[in-house]
Amino acid sequence: MIRFNDILTQVQTTDPTADLDLLKKAYIFSAKVHAGQLRQSGEPYLGHPLEVAYILAKLRLDTETVCAGLLHDTVEDSLVTTLDEIGNHFGDEIAMLVDGVTKIGKMTYASAEQRQAENFKKILIATAKDMRIVLIKLADRLHNMRTLEHMPRKKQHVIAQETLDIYAPLANRLGIQWIKNELEDLAFRHLNPAAYYQIILKLSKGRQEREKFVEEVIQLLKNLLESHNIFAEVKGRLKNVYSIWRKMQVQHLEFEQVMDLTAFRILVNSVAECYEVMGIIHNLWKPVPGRFKDYIALPKANMYQSLHTTVIGPGGERVEIQIRTIEMHLVAEYGIAAHWKYKEGGKFVYDRDSEKFAWLRRMLEYQQEVSDPKEYLDIVKVDLFSDEVYVFTPLGDVINLPAGSTPVDFAYRIHTGVGDQCIGAKINGVIVPLKTKLKSGDRIEILTRKGSHPNRDWLDFVVTSNAKAKIRDYLKKQERESSIALGKEMLEKALRRDKISLAKLEKSGKLNEVAEKLSYNSEGFLLASIGYGKLSVATVVEEITGEKETADEAKESSLERILRPLSRKEKGGIRIGSVDDVMFRMAKCCNPLPGEPIVGFVTRGRGITVHASDCPAVLEMDNERRVEVEWDNNVQGVTALSKIIIYSQDQPGVLANISKAISMEEVNIAEIHSATDKSTLEAQMTFSLQIKNLEQLQKVMKAIEKVKGVIRIERLRR
């Protein structure tokens, strides 16, 4: 068990001027509060805050943080100690740190998922208030994970999963690699003990040979560098168990197929020496293609810098080597704390506006915009915990984004206005689809047009929280405005029969009173609910007039009656009622084309869904939600995606001839999928086409039927 003197020694190593009396005072206070308390292991509870404080001291944190580590459980786990008491004894700063950690811990939730999501939101808020709070929480979680075997098995699994999902990636984002690695291994041991101990067993079998190999490589590298007058520190380490297992899973390898179980680290004095050492090593051993990464020129989001390379070393063994300066190594070891500055008198301060904290600002902005905890957690995991790509703006600035990001993600990272008005993108000078996944080194140029708006379809491929938030924010705003307008028209027409003016009701405040009686915050929410289809007009009219509608009157005020007049041109070639900007979407179950009979249905929260009249789904729809719609033949240039499946002989040239026939009809091919039935030797080709109307589809299908080798052709509704 860690002794208090160990903490004092560690603190003095970092800061010889540290206030040791304050530390002693905190230790004595913690010992008194926790006297007689035992942990699940049966050991004195005081051991836990001592361990936490020692971890914080190892991170070279200031005296106040280490004191807070000693005191972090005194309020939560004591019936007698209050936050005011902590403040009176140790000052407001330490009380604030203890309070931050306590608030993260004192949470109760309806489900494990909600607990995890809300817990993470609390951590982010605490992090914004003071970064040291989350570091204390990480130290607390690390020691709890070291002693997790004493908890009930079910609780072990819950805590371990949360550690793997949140705390290990958070440690990585903060740049504290050793805590991240240890948390991963400890969590893995409890979540999948069979796999964990199997790897441990296999590692132990070859340990002596591996240790001998490591020593040989270290000595060889030292001698090689000294011969070039470079005096460096060279270390070798075994990769952590979880990272080995992850590599086995991702690359579908057996343990024996994992070549680079060990990694070597070379510490030099300057950036120039980093690159010189890289050249020397590549001259000695052949580098593995695609395994060189320059994190010095392009630092990771957590400010990690190093050169990484994998070479074919002695005996044909793959050797992974990391090369960095001593200063870079301090950042890798101590993470975000290595960037902190101290004012005169040792007062802690950090610059919230620096690029090092940009990720935190983004996470905080998004947590204010998303109310659903699960949705929030799912999205931030992408931004916070995924691998990254590094791309360039036209001016050469480097932008780091999560792996899988698209030009739309890039556009929103540049500015909300750029994202909102994005109409296209160029990657390395070539126009590409907006859903194209970016690769490191790409040069991105966003094409914009004033007046353009985000597209709902973008949500299917964007990955960053910022992009998703901005797109959803626009769509919700647009949807709400459309629903209010639609609801207002419906109510206005219904009230007209009773010769009641909706405008006068709004002006007098009567409509707001009705909204309150029906449990709505305002008349806007009331009208939006009518437009969404969540609230019937009859209910509102009854509340206004005090009279219940007859069956005939109810029928008269149905959606079908209200929206029957078709006078407004709807963007996209549809006319729906006389209300401006009614949101609609084409049903995916039938993909209706301009020219074929259609019908609309009010869908909860999604505006109006347009179906083909002969769609089977129409038979199951509630007629009360039916809306008469029609195509606007005056709209030019509008196309819809239509799929056809072609059955043909499996022979050369058929696909090319089909594509030529489609092109001759001036139809764009969006996508092609083909397969062959080996039993019948019949090819099946699915084409996604950009079609203007039903007439054009029929024409192109006739052209395809004439192609030699085509057996039959069908239109796919889905």
β strands within 249-306, DSSP E: 262-268, 286-287, 293-294
Can you spell out the DSSP letters for 418-429?
A: HHHTEEEEEETT
Helix (H) or strand (E) holding 699, with range, is helix 694-705
Q: Under a CB-based contact definition with an 8 Å cutoff, are residues 622 and 687 in contact?
A: no
Cβ-contact 301, 388 below 8 angstroms: yes
| Tokens found for residue 81 | 């100690």
- C-alpha–C-alpha distance, residues 648 and 441, integer Å: 42
Question: What single-letter amino acid sits at 81?
Answer: T
What's the CA gap between 402 and 387, in Å, rounded?
6
Among the listed residues 139, 161, 114, the one whose alpha carbon sits nearest the alpha carbon of residue 61: 139
| Cβ-proximal residues to 215 (8 Å cutoff; 6+ apart), any chain | 236
State the DSSP code for 494: H
CA distance 610 to 628: 10
**Residues 611 and 599: beta-carbon distance below 8 Å:** yes
Supply the residues annotated as catalytic: 76-77
- Asked whether 214 and 260 are in contact (CB, 8 A), the reply is no
Q: Please, are residues 577 and 566 in contact by the beta-carbon 8 Å criterion?
A: yes
For strands 607-612 and 640-649, give the pairing: unpaired
- Burial category of 100 from C-beta neighbours within 10 Å (exposed 0-12, middle 13-18, buried 19 and up): buried
Say how far apart CA 604 and CA 611 lie, in whole Å: 16
Q: How many CB atoms lie within 10 A of CB 348?
A: 18
Instruction: Give the helix/strand (H/E) hosting 473.
Output: helix 465-496
DSSP string, 198-244: HHHHHHHHTHHHHHHHHHHHHHHHHHHHHTTT---EEEEEEPPHHHH
Contacts (Cβ under 8 Å, ≥6 apart) of 173: 301, 302, 359, 384, 385
3-state class percentages of the chain: helix first, strand second, coil last, to nearest 5 = 50, 15, 30
Tell how strand 682-691 and strand 640-649 pair up: antiparallel
The token pair at 575 is: 């006319």
435: its two tokens: 């859903």
Q: How many CB atoms sit inside 10 A of residue 188's CB?
A: 24
Q: Please state the φ and ψ torsions of residue 205, each to the nearest 5 degrees.
A: -65, -35
Listed residue (545, 542, 610, 541) closest to 573, CA to CA: 610
Tokens matching residue 634: 């005056």
Q: Residue ranges of the alpha helices (H) in 72-230?
A: 83-90, 92-105, 112-129, 131-146, 153-162, 168-173, 177-191, 193-205, 207-226
Report how far residue 273's alpha carbon sits from residue 230's, in angstroms, rounded to the nearest whole number: 8
DSSP state of 605: T
